[in-house]
Amino acid sequence: MKTSERAQLCELSPMRKFHPFAVEAEAKGRKIYHLNIGQPDIETPPAFFESLRQFADPVLAYAESPGRPSLLKAIQRYYAGIGVELAEKDILITTGGSEALSMLMLCILDPGSEVLVPEPFYPNYNTFIRAAGGVIRPIPTSPEEGYHFADRAKIEAEINENTRAILFTNPSNPTGVILTAEERRMLLDVAKEHDLYLISDEVYREFNYDADELSTMASFADGAENVVIIDSVSKRFSACGARIGCLISRNQQLMAEAMKFCQARLSVATLDQVASAALYAEDKSYFDAVRAEYKLRRDTVLEKLGQIPNVICKKPQGAFYLMAALPVDDAESFQKWLLTDFEDHGETVMFAPGQSFYATPGKGINEVRIAYVLKQADLERAMDLLALGIEAYNKRG
């Protein structure tokens, strides 16, 4: 029996590929500190669960294909609060930001179409783009320049007749880079001049540690035809298991095409939509507290990395990830060794090796993504284990 070439082009998640080794390590009694997956430990707001308890419909029916009106209105109010007026028709509810991306790629890509993506990037972008027949054309960056990509000449050098879109995360997963207002304006200008979709994955919008105001590409009035926003409750409200996201665009031709896929999958889970609508009523103080907590964690990781000789890591401005170049020959070999051969007082650590965050062969070999999602004491211990592991790894005979 054959499987499709498109499926074969896709890869397993680099955040989870070392799971079998982790299972073996835990079977030996080792405790693992997980810096490899962006699963927040912040409590989900109680309003989510309270709304579930109050749900009293006698039948758990299909939701509307575009999304439940209560959730669509909640999202409209949220965006109005950051200065963006959206019509209900500008929003489609999806099963997480992942389905929004998957649907979008099916709408805009043909076999051989290219999407410009700054590398390193969220590895599942590969799956969404390849499954739709497209390919990633990377915008190159480096650890030494803090993974900065918003350079017009650098971007336009990669545009060709096959280019359909520019896709980026802001704030960035995995680098923590945040675009300035001028950089966002430049990206839109490039997209308009070259007739490209500009896809802004903004699921980490609230995790901005150096600015008081939230930003979105949807704020540009002249970006209606080009700008597409990917959003989600997963990280914003520490509700990853809810699987509620949305696709946002004022381009009504695009949204009409996306509606075909929304109707084909019938609807997003009704209860998850009900509970997620309640999340959008959360007070601003919730985000202030969460931001303060993650900023402390970021600073802890930076301080600990700064104590390890020959690590290259610039200060991230947002999200809850950072990329760092470590003084090891191969981050994947190092990660496997940490799980199979290393322990300190019965403990070890996991991160996400960087090579799978790149499309360019040979890049990211000694880089890692660290998700600083652990409580303070655990985070400090995890970083100490990383330092001890690097020292021991490089002393092997």
DSSP assignment of 359-390, as one string? SSTTTTTTEEEEE--S-HHHHHHHHHHHHHHH
Q: What is the pLDDT of residues 172-204, one digit of tens each?
A: 999 999 999 999 999 999 999 999 999 999 999
Residue 210: its pLDDT value, please? 85
CATH 3.40.640.10 in the chain, residues?
46-279
Full-model pTM: 0.96
Closest CA to 128 of 119, 147, 115: 115
Q: What is the pLDDT of residues 253-276, one digit of tens each?
A: 999 999 999 999 999 999 999 999
Superfamily of domain 5-43+285-394: Aspartate Aminotransferase, domain 1 (3.90.1150.10)
Residue 212: its pLDDT value, please? 76
CA distances (Å), origin 195, targets 50, 69, 116, 129: 46, 32, 13, 19
Q: How confident is the model at residue 239 (pLDDT cuts 50, 70, 90)?
A: very high
Residue 5: its pLDDT value, please? 87
Q: How confident is the model at residue 213 (pLDDT cuts 50, 70, 90)?
A: confident
Say if CB 167 and CB 201 are below 8 A apart: yes
Q: Which two tokens stand for residue 319?
A: 């999200």
- Strand segments (E) across 170-281: 197-201, 227-232, 245-248
pLDDT value at 397 more than 70: no
Whole-number CA gyration radius for the chain = 21
pLDDT value at 74 more than 70: yes
CATH 3.90.1150.10 in the chain, residues?
5-43+285-394
The class of domain 46-279 in CATH terms is alpha beta
Mean pLDDT of 120-125: 96
**160-162-164-165 Cα dihedral, nearest 10 degrees:** -50
